Copies of this chain bind each other. A is one copy, B any other.
Amino acid sequence: MNAALRAVVLAAEHYGIETIAFRHGYQGLLENDAMPIKAKDVLHILQYSGTIIKSARCQRFKEADAAQEAAANLDSHNIDALVIIGGDGSFRGADHLANHWQGKIIGVPGTIDNDLYGTDMTIGYATAVNIAMDALDKIRDTADAMDRVFIVEVMGRDAGFIGLGSAMAAGAERMILPELQKEKPLTVAALVKHIQRVQEIRGEGSYVMVLSEHQWPGGAVALAEQLEAEHHLPCRPCLLGHIQRGGAPAPADRILASELGVHAVELLLAGEHRVMAGKRANERVAVPLPDTWQKKNPLDQNLLRIQHEIFNPVKKNRRTKTDN
């Protein structure tokens, strides 16, 4: 977030535009909690996680009168354009505001979940994968030494991006992702079978599983208990939680944030409105805001195929053979 904020401020200054920041997102917009922000204020914030202008959830913003208040506050500062850095909720809010305000609005995709349509990557995703992978690497060290089963629960809202990215990067034996669950929900029996086959094939018991949030009732803790109590598989859970939202941002996130922050300002200068500044297949794009949350950003099918099939130690045909 900081990196995107910095890019917007620096690009604005470059083009001779003044900038004002609202603290705490929409909540601050309603409370008119504004501060002028200049190049000097964003010096050397690039390496820090979080955001110097803080963020917050704001339930009330969905209502019409909230958007009208926000519009009035924006007008009170003579603001011509608003850059919103955030995810799907922020963009819905932005679109809602656009119905009640005359100024121009550009979104910058900032969410760890990578679940916005129209851009290959969202700002924050690379860092989240990095952190989840690092946790999986550490787990692997122990798993190898102790021949055990481990479940690491990662974030992602309703999308499996963090799950797939970290599972692939860390070479996990199994992923439980929303996209896979929707297709064919995994049963405990099938899971236990897979674990046992992997252990047979390899002659060792290290088995690391990535579980996307909301994909198992009770999460990693409950699944671990189930495997241990019902199937006598010693199993340890790990719940990463908000660790995934912190830490020094990965280079890919800082670079993307710099590009898209500048891109947002240049879209404004080009007269664009109600779009998200994105990047797809190396091209800068402008994506209509409603598309970003109405259309689904699909998982990379090739990565899914590689991780789920090609790198799967248990082959489908082999399974059939031994099953008969």
Complex interface: chain B residues within 8 A of A243 (CB) = 135, 138-139, 238
Residue of B nearest to A306 (CB): B262
Complex interface: chain B residues within 8 A of A259 (CB) = 302-303, 306
The main secondary structure of chain A at its interface with chain B is helix
Q: Which of A20-77 contact B (CB under 8 A)?
A: 39-40, 43-44, 46-51, 54-56
User: What 1/0 flags go to A172-210 for Cβ under 8 Å of B?
Assistant: 000000000000000000000000000000100010000
- In contact, B206 and A44 (Cβ under 8 angstroms): yes
**Oligomer: number of copies:** 4
**Considering residues A131, A138, A139, which has the most beta carbons from chain B within 10 angstroms of its beta carbon?**
A138
Complex interface: chain B residues within 8 A of A39 (CB) = 313
The answer, yes or no, to whether A133 is at the interface (CB within 8 Å) is: yes
Q: Give me the interface of A with B, judged by CB distance under 8 Å.
A: 1, 6-7, 10-11, 14, 39-40, 43-44, 46-51, 54-56, 120, 126, 129-131, 133-135, 137-147, 150, 165-166, 168-171, 202, 206, 219-221, 236-248, 250-252, 254-255, 258-259, 262, 280-284, 302-303, 306-307, 309-311, 313, 315
Task: Show 22 residue pairs from A and B whose CB-CB distance is below 8 angstroms, ordered by the A residue.
Answer: A1-B145, A7-B311, A10-B310, A43-B202, A46-B171, A47-B170, A47-B171, A54-B147, A120-B282, A126-B251, A130-B250, A133-B251, A133-B254, A138-B243, A150-B241, A168-B255, A169-B251, A219-B221, A237-B239, A239-B239, A252-B252, A282-B282
